[in-house]
Chains A and B, each alone.
Chain A
Amino acid sequence: MSLATLKKLILYLLVLAVCYFAADRVLAYGLQTLLDQANTRFSKLYSGGMDADIVVMGNSRAVNAFFAPEIEKQLDKSVFHLAYNGMSMTVAEVLFRDYLERNEKPEMLLLEITNVYGTARLFNDLKLFMGKSDRLQESIADYNKPLAVACQVSNLYRFNSEMYFRSLYYIDRSDQSWINTGQVDAEYAQNYTVSQEDKDTKLFPTDNDNWEALLRIVELCRDEGISLRLVATPYLPAFRNGITDFDTWVADFRVALPGDVRFYDLSESLTSNEYFADVLHINRSGSVLLLEEMIEEGVFEGDDNGPSSKPANEN
C-alpha cells in the first residue's frame, strides 16, 4: 500500500468516525426527546410527578392479572402499573427505588411474586433509560458490561430495542390498560393436560439475587411506610397441577419471609379454563374475578385490619 493510499485511508476513517459520532449523538438526542413524550410506564416513571395510591409490579403474569382500570373502579384508588414482561425481582427493586425518588410515595406496592425465578434480562431493554438513572446504569453494567460499554460508545444503540418501538406506539396513548383478551380453548387445555403428565415441571429454584432483592424491597417498604402485598396469581389448572415443586416452594417461601409481610397464594383461585389466555396468564375476565377474590381476601385492607393482616408465616 502506498503512503498516499494509507493517508487517504486514515483520513477517511477519521472523518467517518467524527461524522458517525456526531450523527449518533444528534439522532440519539432526537429519539430521547420522542421517548420523553411517550406514555409508557417507564417513560412516566422517569419523567416523574406520578401520584398513585397503588403501584403494581411483577412480570407478564402481573401485567395480565392486575387490570389497572378495574382496580381503580372497584377501589376508587389511583393505580400505576409498573409490571412488565420478564421483570425479575432484581429489576423490580431498581425500578421501584427509581420510582420513589421521582414520584409521590404510594400507599401500597402490589407485587406478583412468581418473578423470583426470572433472569434480569429486562435490563438489556432498559438501557433505553440508562441516561436517566445512575442506579439503573450501574445495574445494567453489573448485569451486562459489554452492553453498558456499547451504549457509551453509541448513544443510538440505547434505542435499539423492541421497547423503544413500543414506546413510539404509545406517544399519544397510555399503556396502563394492557390485558390479554384471548382465551384458551378446550382442545388446548386438554392437550396441555396430556403433555404435562410427562413433564414434571419444576419452576421454582428461587435464586439468591432475586430473593435478596425481595428482602430489600420489604425493608424499603417498611422504612417508607408503604404497605406491601405479595401475591401468587393463578396458573392454568392443568399446568398448575403439573408444577411438582410449587406447594413445597410456597411453604418454604412463607417460612422464609419476614413475619410482617402479607403473602397471598391465589395460584389456584381460578379453576375454569375460560379465565386463561394461556398456561401462565389469565385474561381480562379472569382478572376481574381475581380482583374480587383479592378484595374478599382482604389484600387491599390496611396493615392493621382484618384477618388477612396476619403475617405470612401464619397465613
Chain B
Amino acid sequence: MLFNSLVFWIFFPTFFVLYFLTKGQVRMTLCLVGSYLFYGWWDWRFLGLIALLTGINYWCGLKIAEVGDEVHQRKHYVTFSIVSSLAILGFFKYFDFFMDSFYSMTQTIGINFHPLVMGIVLPVGISFYTFQTMSYTIDLYRKEMPVERSLLKFSVFVSFFPQLVAGPIVRAKDFLPQLQSDRTVDWENLRQGINKVLWGLILKVVMADNLAITVDRAFAEPSAMSGLYLLIGAIFYGFQIYGDFAGYSLIAIGLAQMLGYHFNANFNRPYLATSFSDFWKRWHISLSSWLRDYLYIPLGGNRKGKRRTQINLMLTMLLGGLWHGSSWNFVLWGGLHGFYLIAQRWVSPLWNVPLPELLKKLFCWFCVMVGVFLAWIFFRVQSFHDAAVIIEKIATLDHFHPSTIFLKLHCLKGALILLSIFAIEVLSTKIDFDGIARKRPSLNLAYGVVSLLALSFLGMYGGNAFIYFQF
C-alpha cells in the first residue's frame, strides 16, 4: 500500500478505530496483522522473508541474553545475526548486481564466463528492516538495551507498518520500550500527527510528483536536451527526492504519533546545510546515524589519525551509497560524498577569509549545494555516459535559452511550488509554526483546510511510488 493511495486511506482509519478499541496483547496482534496486511498488499510472498529475519534476530537476541557475560558466545551469536541478515539482504539485493559486475570484469580481461543471473525481485523496504533488526542484536551485544522476550512485540518492532518500507530506520532501543505498555494518545499527539501527515503529503504529492514530470523528461534522453533544461531537471530532482523521501518519513512519523509512538525526525531542512557534515546531520538522519554508530565508529571513527579517518569516511560513504541500491551509480554517489567530507576536513582549517559572517555562510551554502546537486545527477542517471552528457551540457551552457524548455507551464508550476515550500522551510527556522498552531486552534484548523485545498488543487495523483521504495 502506498501512503498516497486510496486503499491506504481506507486501511488506516479502520486500523485506527480498531487500535483504540483494543488493548494489550490484542492490540499488539492487531498491529502485527495490520502491518503484515500492509506489506502483503504489495506481495504476500515476501511476508515469509520478514518473518524469517524476525525469527533469526529474535532467537539471536534470546541467546545473547542467555549467555550473559561470555564475550566469546555473545560475539558468536551477534555475528550469526549480522551475517545471516546481510546474507539475506545480499542475496535479494546484490546477487545479480555482483554477478553482472563480475561478468563485465571477466569480459574485459578476455575470459568467457557466463554467471548465474537469477532476475531476483527486490522485496520492498528490505534494506530498512534488515538494518533495523541488526541494530537490535548489536545493541544487545553492546548491552545498551534489555532483551525482548515477547515474539509478538519483537515482530511488531520489525514490521510496524508506518515505517516498514521506507523508514525512518527505527532503533530497537528507541521503539521496543514504547511497545511495553498500551500507548495513550492525547489531543496534542493527534494534532501534531495529523499536521505532519498533511505536510508529508504536500511534500510528496504536491512538490515531488509535480517536479517529477520535468525530471523524468530531462533525464530520459539527456543528449536531446539543452543544458538549461538539464540544469532545471537536476535542481528539480534534488527537490523531488527530498519531497518524496522526507514526505514519506514525515507521514510515517505522523501516523505513528497518532497511534501514540514517537519516532525521531529523519530530515531537518537539509538544503539549508552550510557544510557537508552538516548536510549529513540533516539528510536521512536515521541512516546516517546508523552508519555512524554501527560502521564508522566501530571502524575507528576519527580516533586513529587523519589518514585512517579519511579511509573510514570514504568506506562508510561508499557502503552508504551501495545501501541505496545495486548499481555503481549509488556507489559513485556515496564516493562523491565521501570525497566531499574528506575535502571539507582539508579545506576547513585553511578557510579563514575576512568576509562578513553572512557572506561566508552564503558562500559555504552555495558550495555545499553545488556538490550535493552534482552528486544527485549520478544518483538519478541510467548510465555514467548520461551523467557525463548532463554535466558537460550544463558546464558549457549548451543551448541556454528559455525556448529549449519543454512543458514550460509544468516547469513554472514546479518552480513556484518548490520556491514556496523552500521559503516555508527557511521561515520555519525563525518562526515556530507548530507553537502558533498549538496556541491558536483556529490557525491550526486553517492550516488543515489550506493543506487539503493545496492537495486538491496542486497534487498529482497518478499512483507515483515513493523513490525510496526501491531501496
Contacts and interface: CB of A to CB of B under 8 A. Distances in A.
Interface of A: 1-2, 5-6, 8-9, 12, 15-16, 19-20, 23-24, 27, 146, 150, 154, 156-157, 159-160, 162, 165-166, 169, 182
B445 A146 contact: no
B409 A162 contact: yes
Nearest to A162: B409
Interface stretch (B36-44, B123-131, B136-144, B181-189): B181-189
A160 B424 CA distance: 22
9 contacts: A5-B190, A8-B187, A12-B191, A16-B452, A19-B449, A157-B456, A160-B459, A162-B407, A165-B412
A23 B409 contact: no
The 8 closest A-B pairs by CB, nearest first: A154-B456, A156-B456, A20-B452, A19-B449, A157-B456, A1-B20, A16-B448, A1-B185
Nearest to A6: B20
Interface string B406-418: 0101101100000
Contacts of A24: 453, 456
Interface of B: 6, 20, 184-187, 190-191, 403, 407, 409-410, 412-413, 445, 448-449, 452-453, 456-459, 461
Contacts of A169: 409
A160 B445 contact: no
Given A16-B445, A166-B409, A160 B457 contact: yes
Main secondary structure of the interface of A (DSSP, over half): helix
B431 to A, nearest CB: 23
A27 B449 CA distance: 12
A29 B399 CA distance: 42
A214 B306 CA distance: 75
A27 B453 contact: yes
Contacts of A159: 457
Nearest to A146: B6
Given A8-B187, A160-B458, A166-B409, 11 more contacts: A9-B187, A9-B190, A12-B191, A12-B448, A16-B448, A16-B452, A20-B453, A23-B449, A24-B453, A24-B456, A165-B412
B445 A15 contact: yes
Contacts of A165: 409, 412-413
A28 to B, nearest CB: 9
A159 B456 CA distance: 9
A166 B252 CA distance: 36
Contacts of B185: 1, 5
Nearest to B407: A162
A169 B458 CA distance: 17
User: Which of B185, B407, B412, B449 has the largest count of A CB atoms less than 10 A from its CB?
Assistant: B449
A179 to B, nearest CB: 14
Contacts of B6: 146
Contacts of B459: 160
Given A5-B185, A166-B409, A23 B453 contact: yes
B10 to A, nearest CB: 13
Contacts of B457: 27, 156-157, 159-160
Given A20-B453, A156-B457, A159-B457, A1 B448 contact: no
A106 B407 CA distance: 32
B6 to A, nearest CB: 7
User: Which of B191, B409, B410 has the largest count of A CB atoms less than 10 A from its CB?
Assistant: B409
A156 B452 CA distance: 10
A162 B456 contact: no
A12 B187 CA distance: 10
A5 B187 contact: yes
Contacts of B186: 2, 5
